[in-house]
A and B are shown apart, each in its own frame.
Chain A
């Protein structure tokens, strides 16, 4: 069966460091992958989409990689700030209209 795994439930890092979150998937061949941010008490907010033919994508301090051979996406936040503290979810298409989400990684950036 199809599975999406995010490396850990929680990740704690010091302000200014780079946070790296992992999304692994099995029994999928997605044409793209999305990353969302979710703050407590709020719905997920879309951050980035990366297609299978794109190795890397950047948006300000965010960088996403997509390795279809390893079946893995890495999500990096450089120069992290306490305001980056949130839960980050990866999502893959199940079919054209249906996205399936990972359980999320809760990132805490300590000042």
Chain B
């Protein structure tokens, strides 16, 4: 298995532009998680899905952020409009059952820089 796949690996954009990050979870995993990592705040959970349905989006910082999972093999995290403070590494992770006791498998991340 290729593991969790994220694209792009790096994204540089200007303030005000729309940014779309993509994730393909491991096949057969029912849960998908989006995290953001910064030096200041560490690794923060933004939102997670179970069987393509958003379960908890309380970590999404504001309305500029939205996430979708149209099918079991694809999810997007969109920021519109982007701001410099959104600069971070965004990780997607998936797990088989979603129970915290189950291992989460992380993708390589997308490093976002908003100028």
Residues of A within 8 A of B (CB): 31-32, 34, 41-46, 49, 89, 93-104
Binding site for A on B (CB under 8 A): 4, 31, 42-43, 45, 48, 50, 55-56, 91, 93, 98-101, 103-109
Residue pairs across A and B with Cβ atoms less than 8 A apart, 8 shown, are A46-B103, A89-B43, A96-B98, A98-B45, A98-B56, A98-B100, A99-B100, A103-B42
Contact flag A43-B100 (CB < 8 Å), given A99-B45, A103-B42: no
Interface of B, secondary structure class, is: strand
Q: Are B45 and A100 in contact (CB under 8 A)?
A: yes
Chain A binding surface SS class: strand
Question: Measured between alpha carbons, how far is A6 from B62 in the docked complex, in Å?
Answer: 28
Assembly CA distance A49 to B100 (angstroms): 10
B93: which A residues are within 8 A, CB to CB?
A: 43
Q: Which residue of A lies closest to B3 (CB)?
A: A43
